Every structure is written in structure tokens, then in C-alpha cells.
Structure 1
Amino acid sequence: MTSTAPPEYPDQIDGAVLKVAGVVVLGAIMSILDITVVSVALPTFQTVFDATYATVAWTMTAYTLALATVIPMTGWAADRFGTKRLYIAALVLFTAGSVLCAAATSIEMLVAFRVLQGLGGGMLMPLGMTIMTRAAGPQRIGRLMAVLGIPMMLGPIMGPILGGYLIDIASWHWIFLINLPIGIVAMVYALRVLPADEPSESESFDFVGMLMLSPGLAAFLFGVSSIAEGGEGASFGPRVWVSIVIGALLIVAFVNHALRTSKPLIDLRLFRNRNFTVASISMFVFVIAFMGAGLLFPSYFLQVRGETTLMAGLLIAPQGIGAMLTMPIAGVLADKVPVGRTVPFALGLMAFGFFGFTQVEADTSYWVLCGSLFVMGLGMGGTMMPIMTSALRTLTNHEVARGSTMINIVQQIGGSIGTAVLAMVLTNQLTSAPERPVDPLEFMADGFATTFTVALGLVLLALVPVMFLPRRREPSNLLADSGDTPPVMVH
């Protein structure tokens, strides 16, 4: 009986792999944009549905909680049903949820349909990472992850621009209906170009783990997201701490369960891999700063400078431009140079750009601010995807789906914590009484400057785990599957 040689991958990114990348990027764009595009529609929802801000804010919170709930079971489902089938199912669920959101006639219906949309969207990113990692092979992961990183970087930037534009020229319904043609194209595209993969029939589902982790994540993130929320049960109220404590206890219970069972919902044994652990910690701290600060930039332009929503989105576009310039370069370097030698410099560049916003005033030149955002984007483009590449490179083919799921959970928790912490700092700054009479805009600008200083501190804190990223080339384990199953090939 002859053994099959491991598949050989060309060094360059070929057309077949780029087709797969196109499917994944379409799904990622839909999922990530819908996290931010709704933010500009909240005042419209208040008027249309005659609801309070705290009520309409659930259109964002419900989507985020749905993402967090479904992500843990994505790794098992990918093994059990196959990544292609599950990815198409996720696209169908997300697109159907989008259409139902547009048809909502009450705020309660809209929140419910946002949950449905989030259940589909939560599977798109980890599945996309798995599909691209398997298709690219170990030597091209960095370049393919750079492609996937584009929507991850541009989502927080393009969301407010797109949402403001669609609401201005049409109505709020179109921030959801825009997903219908994109979703149909993505489904047809996925059916034609995604490689078929065989499900693992022997995998059993960890129902006990699901009953601990999914509600635990949802409760924890609900509590964290409520910290800076105004009104009854606001910051540090019983609702916040009860949710956080219950969520944390359920997560701790899951950790104990996962280390004792042979096939847990999330395989925490992945953290025995040093590279995966260091990369996950680096990603966690980085995302806290990146996602938290991402909401501060448009708020400064809206509240202090009095810009329109559309203009505020356009003013932060230099950040996305900078990221797009360095991300492809970082992807190539991640395949050839140890990430521990490049990421610290990229993160330092991001910190340098951030410094400009710590000095912000009510009349700071837009040239200075846009230049700072551009430099910050250059650093971000060289940071996130190389870290993610380092996390997945040394996993076996069978571990990739579980590793992708874990990285997405880390990002979700980090993003929620970052948003809550910086929102709380900003709220405290803007609601505290000034020590002396001062112009209101100057007072607000000082509050933003202080909050940006905290964000800069978080960026610098990320340098600590980043310094432990691998500084020498290590062999990839992507082909080393215990079942001798090679990564899915693209034909």
C-alpha cells in the first residue's frame, strides 16, 4: 500500500487561492461592517420606533452577544459538517437575518432579527480563517491572512461612512438590505469555488461545555458592555456586576470541564503550544486598544468638532489607507521573516501615531490628526495579521478550525473590554466638573485627550507579550495531522 505524499504548494499566491480568498473576504465584510454600520443609525431608530437610546442600543449589543454565543461551537461544527457546507449555511442565515431586520416594524422585532443575523455572522470569520489557512498551505499563510485582514481593519472605518451615506440618500432599511445582493453573490461564489471537505463523523458535541461557555460569554460581555451605559443600572450597578460574575463563574467552570474531557467544545490544550499562547495574549491586549480607540476617533470629530457623521467617517479614512499599504507587505514578511522581528516595530509605529491624539485640542489641525491616523494605520497593518499568522502556523490541520475559533473568541472578548473601558474613561471625563471655568469644547477635548492617553498606554502594554513572539523560523505543523489528512486543496 503506497503512502500519499504531502501536497506541494506553490510559493506564490495563485488564482485558485485568490478565488477562495474572495469568498471569505465577502463574508468577512458583511459580518464586520454590520457591527459598526448600525452605530450611526441609533438616533434614527429612536425617532422611528419612539424608543430610548438605551433600548435602541440593544440593536448593537444583541448582535455582539449572538456573535459571542455562536463562535465557540463553530470549531466543532466545522469538523462535523465540513467548512464549505457550514460557511454557506452561515451566509444564508446572515442574509436572511439582514432582510428580516429591514422588514422589522418594532424595536423588539429588530433586536430579535439582529440576534439571528449575529448567529450567522459569528460563524463567518472563524470559518473564513480556517478555509484560507487550509487552502494556502503553511508557507503562504501570512499573505492570505493579510487579505482577510483588510475587512477586519476597514470595518470600523467604512461602517459609519456607509451607514451615514445610505441613511442620507435612502432610509435606515438599506443598511440591512445592502447585504441581500452581497449575500447572494457570496453564496453562488462559495458554491462554485470553495473546495469540498469531508466532515469528521466521529466528532461528538460537547453539550455540557456549550451550556457553560456560550451563556457564560454572553453574560460576561453583556455586563462589560453595560459598564458605561447611561440610565438605570448603569456603571457599577447590580446588573453589571451580577452579569459579569455569573459569566465569569460559568467560564471558569467551562475551563475546569474542558481540561477534564477528551473532546471539549473549545480545546484549551492548544495553549500548550507556546507560539499559540503568546500570539493569543498579544492579540488580546492589542485588540483591547484597537477596538476601544476605534470608537473614540469618530466621537471626537462628531462631539468636539461638530462634523456630520459622513464627514467624521471620511476623516478617519487615512487610518484605513495606511493599513492597506502595510498589510500586504506584512503578509509577505510573515511568510519569510519571524513575526517577533517585525511586529514590535509595527506596534511602535502605531504608538507613535497614537501620541498625536493624546495632545488633541478643540482646534487641532486636521492635517495633524489625519497624519497621525495614517501613521497609526501603517502600524496596525503590520501588527494584527502577523500575530494571527503566528498563532495558526504551528497548529496541525485538525487543530486549525479550533485555533481559529479560539482566536475569534479572544478578539471578541478583547474588543468588548476595550470598548467598555475606554467608554467608561471618556464618560467619567466628560461628566466630571471642571476645576476652573473653561470653554465647553476645550473641556471635551481635554477629556478625549486623557482617554486617548489611556488607549496609548494599552498599546504600549501590548509590547510586553509581543516581545515574546518567535524571533526565529520554526517549522509549520499544518501538514502534521494525526489522521494524516492533508489540508484541503484548491483545484
Structure 2
Amino acid sequence: MSDTDSVTGAHAESGPAGAGAPAPPPTALYRVVIVVVLGTVMSVLDMTIVNVALRHLSESFGAPLETIQWTATAYTLALAAVIPVAAWAMARIGAKRTYVLALGLFTLGSLLAACAWDAASLIAFRAVQGLGGGLLQPVGMAMGMRVADRARLGRAMALLGLPILVGPVAGPVLGGWLLDAASWQWIFLINLPVGALALSLAARLLPKDAPRTPRTDRPRLDLPGLLMLSPGLALLLFGLSRGGERGDFTAPGALIPTLAGAVLAAAFVRRALTVRAPLLDLRLLRDRTFAAGVATLAPFTCGYFGSMLLGPLYWQQERGLSATAAGLLGAPVGLVVGTTMQIAARRVDRVAPRLLIAAGCAVGALGMALLAWQTGTPGVASWRVVVAGMVMGVGAGMTLMPTMTTASRDLPADRLAGASTALSINAQLAASVGTALLSVLLGAAGPDPAGFRLTYAVAAVLLALAVPAALRLPGERHG
């Protein structure tokens, strides 16, 4: 077996259909999509609901807001620590079993979180949720890519991206209603019936894919790589988030974990390029299309997800609106992102990805620049800010899922698990870097029109930096 054929992903029984390979029936795709979308919606909703509830949780537990924020941080760190084992777990026990395990962990964590008796127990139980949530996206994406032939991959990715539409729009509204009408426990209890339904459907609908290789031939866990990459990612994310919160990356509490995480990540990269079966197959980057996709997504994700903190702060601090009003004003952007994504992810099966995605990056940068202009104008009409955000949303919908589809389309089936894991890690790191960077910029410039103008302008530059990489994506049609 050559280095480029080393397996870090699962041994799929079916995958994107190549030359001479039969296309899986559409019903197989829809069964997987139903289960994956249900599980992913649950995790995305939970993240947005908890973010809305932080101040309420602080009051309920009588704990400082800085302490309660660890409920979000603990989830993120656990998520980052477990993502690297996704490909190995799929290869070892199969994607279906891994996904069921992830659903079970997330649902159990939700039950435990609802039973928390103090801030410390809530933080610990949120980490349990993170262990499940970290596996849901890469495993779900890998299963979807396996059962979709190349001609239908864009359609599959569009359906798998539905949570991007539902979560940011419904989460703040649902979270506010649960807190007002019931109690904080219900922001976690709401996951129990959804989790039970997802587990039941997963057992019935997901195809069996236990590895067919003898037990002695199944891949062993790259323990040295795991001990480098998982703590490295967690330390990087912790250092970046701490630096963003405090507006100072040179403080020991931010600098030391960031440097330690960077050293561990660098050590993992060296190991991954030299050992035969690493935890994460970085040799995927030798594929020109996959490398171009990662290079496109990194700056775009950095600017797009990093800018998400700016909207609520602008509406509440600069315009004096309530959290509910801020959520409602952000809903049109989420709807535009989701709707455009559904159209663009399907069109990428029929048009040249290079043109579609490069145009999306440019439109997204334009929309972000318009946001910089509008938010930097005192007393500007609210509708003008919302429209600028919607333009940016069109660009995001044209870029995110179509790029993931294009990056993975031509990979062999046994490398899809590794590809989905790498894309998930790339997105998580880029989003954390963007959030920290823009937080520091806004803190330094001040939450006033000039500060928002500068911060949105930097986000626009980050989105524009994705255009050159997008122009390296394939220029031919696939369907």
C-alpha cells in the first residue's frame, strides 16, 4: 500500500460513484439525510440557545458571567478534542455505530446538563455534550458523501446544510421563549425527545457499514498523534478565545496555551507527514482540488463566522435594542444564507465550481464592505444594515457548501471520512481565529460606529482573500 492510499477514513461499502460504479438509490441518500439533519439541527440549536441563555444561567446559579461562559468554552474545547478521532472511529467500528454513539453522548449530556446543581456541574456536563457534538458533523458529512454519487453530491450537501438555515434563525427565538415561558432546564430538556427520535431513526434508517476487514487488520489508533492533535487544538482554541475575551493575546493566560497548542499542532503535522497511518491524513492536501477548497474556506470561514458576534453587539450596544429584537433583525440574513445555499449547492453539480464559488466570495466580501459602510454611519436606517447583511449572506450561501462539495467530489470513498474530519477541523479553527481577531479589533477600536466600520472592513478583507484560492478550483462542469 502506498502512502497516498493509507487509510485514515472508514472502509465504506458505498461511496461517490466513480467510473463504472453503480449509483446508490436516492432513497438511501434521503434516509441518511433525515437522520443527519435531525442530529445536526439538535446540536446547532443547542449552541445558539445556550449562547442566548448565558446571562440567565449566571443569575440562576448566582455565578459570575465569566464563570458561566465556560459552559460555552467547555463545549467548544471538548468538540475540538474529539473531532480528530472521527475518521479513526468510523474505520474501527463503522460510521453508523459512531454516529449512534455521538447521538447518545449528546443526548446524555443534555439530560445531565438539565440536572446540573451548580455552575461547575453544568460546565462538566456541557463537555459531555461537546464530545457527542464534535462527532456529529464530520461523521454525518462522511455518511452523506458516501451514499451520494458524484452527480448528486451537491444536492446531498445542500440537504446536509439545512441546519445552517434552521439553527441561527430558530435558536435565539426558541431559547428566549423557553427561558421566558418555562425555565433554564428546558434549553437542555428540549433535546431529549429530538435525541430519542434521532436515535430511533438512526437504528432503522442508516445503512450498516461495519468494516469488512478482519479485526486484526483494522486501523489502530494513532495514540501519539491523538496526544498531539487533540490537546493542541483544545489549547489553541482556549488561548484564542481567552485572548479575544480580554483583548490581549500577550497575557500569560492567552499566550501560553496558544503557543503550547501551536507547538503540539506543528508536531502533529510533522508526524502525520511521516508515519504510514496517521490520525489525520494530511496527504489529502496533495490533491489540488481539496487543497484549493481548504484554502478557500479558511479565510472565508474566518471572516464570516468571526463577524457573527458583531451583529448582536451592534444592535444592542450601538442601537439600544433588546436581545430579541437583535435576533429578529438577524433572522433575514440566516434565511438568505440557507436559501442561497440550497440553490448554489445544487447548481455546483451543473456549473463550473470555480466561477460559482469565486463569485460567491466576491459577493460576500462586497456585502461585508457594505456592512462596514452602513454600521459606520451614525443614525443609518435599520433596513439598510439588514440589506447589506443579506448581500453578504448571498455570498456565504454561494461559497460554504459548494466549496465543501467540490473539495470532496473526486476523492476515493476510503478517504471521505478523513476529508470530512479535516474540513471540520479547518472550519473550527478558522472560526475561532476570526472570532478572536475581530473581538480584539472591536475592543481596541471601541463599540461605536468607527469601531464597527473598521471591524467589518477587516472581515471583508478576509472574505476577499478567499477569491484567489477559489480561482484554483476546477473550471469544468460535473453534470
Instruction: Tell me which of 313, 323, 328 is aligned to 2:327.
Output: 313
Q: Is the 8 A contact 1:23 1:186 kept in 2?
A: yes
Q: Distance in 2 between matches of 1:409 and 1:157?
A: 24
Instruction: Tell me which of 207, 218, 221 is aligned to 1:195.
Output: 207
Which residue in 1 is equivalent to 2:3? none
Q: Is the 8 A contact 1:35 1:64 kept in 2?
A: no
CA shift at 1:445, angstroms? 2.5
Read off the aligned partner of 1:457 and give its amino acid letter: V
Distance 1:212 1:223, change over 3 A: same
Which residue in 2 is equivalent to 1:95? 107
Read off the aligned partner of 1:237 and give its amino acid letter: A
Q: Distance in 2 between matches of 1:151 and 1:179?
A: 15
Q: Distance in 2 between matches of 1:298 and 1:345?
A: 27
Which residue in 2 is equivalent to 1:372? 388
Q: Distance in 2 between matches of 1:411 and 1:281?
A: 11
Which residue in 2 is equivalent to 1:28? 40
CA shift at 1:121, angstroms? 0.3
Which residue in 2 is equivalent to 1:270? 284
Which residue in 2 is equivalent to 1:70? 82
SS at match of 2:161: helix
Give yes or no for the alignment of 1:408 onto 2:420.
no
Which residue in 2 is equivalent to 1:458? 462
CA shift at 1:341, angstroms? 1.5
CA shift at 1:157, angstroms? 4.0
Which residue in 2 is equivalent to 1:437? none
Q: Distance in 1 between matches of 2:309 and 2:240?
A: 16
Instruction: Tell me which of 149, 152, 176 is aligned to 2:164.
Output: 152
Which residue in 1 is equivalent to 2:338? 324
Distance 1:68 1:169, change over 3 A: same
Q: Distance in 2 between matches of 1:310 and 1:351?
A: 27
Please show how residues 319-358 of structure 1 align to structure 2 within 5 Å: 319-358=333-372
TM-score by length of 1: 0.89
Q: Distance in 2 between matches of 1:420 and 1:411?
A: 14
Instruction: Tell me which of 396, 399, 408 is aligned to 2:415.
Output: 399
CA shift at 1:8, angstroms? 2.3
Please show how residues 246-285 of structure 1 align to structure 2 within 5 Å: 246-285=260-299
The percentage of aligned residue pairs carrying the same residue is 43
Distance 1:154 1:422, change over 3 A: farther
Which residue in 2 is equivalent to 1:208? 224
Instruction: Tell me which of 15, 31, 47 is aligned to 1:19.
Output: 31
Q: Distance in 2 between matches of 1:395 and 1:410?
A: 18
Which residue in 1 is equivalent to 2:476? 472
Q: Is the 8 A contact 2:244 2:435 kept in 1?
A: no
Q: Distance in 2 between matches of 1:461 and 1:37?
A: 32
Q: Distance in 1 between matches of 2:120 and 2:370?
A: 42
Superimposed CA distance per residue, residues 314-338 of structure 1 (whole angstroms, 9 cap, x where no aligned partner): 1111112212322222122211222
Q: Distance in 2 between matches of 1:32 and 1:50?
A: 27
CA shift at 1:311, angstroms? 1.6
Which deviates more, 336-345 or 120-129? 336-345
TM-score by length of 2: 0.91
Unaligned runs of 5+ in 1: 431-442, 476-491
SS at match of 1:354: helix
Q: Is the 8 A contact 1:54 1:229 kept in 2?
A: no
Q: Is the 8 A contact 1:156 1:294 kept in 2?
A: no
Which residue in 2 is equivalent to 1:85? 97
Which deviates more, 303-312 or 217-226? 303-312
Instruction: Tell me which of 49, 69, 87 is aligned to 1:37.
Output: 49
Unaligned runs of 5+ in 2: 1-13
Q: Distance in 2 between matches of 1:153 and 1:273?
A: 30
Give yes or no for the alignment of 1:185 onto 2:191.
no
Q: Is the 8 A contact 1:88 1:187 kept in 2?
A: yes
Which residue in 2 is equivalent to 1:224? 240
CA shift at 1:352, angstroms? 2.4
Q: Distance in 2 between matches of 1:123 and 1:241?
A: 28
Q: Is the 8 A contact 1:166 1:175 kept in 2?
A: yes
Q: Is the 8 A contact 1:292 1:419 kept in 2?
A: yes
Q: How many residues align?
A: 456
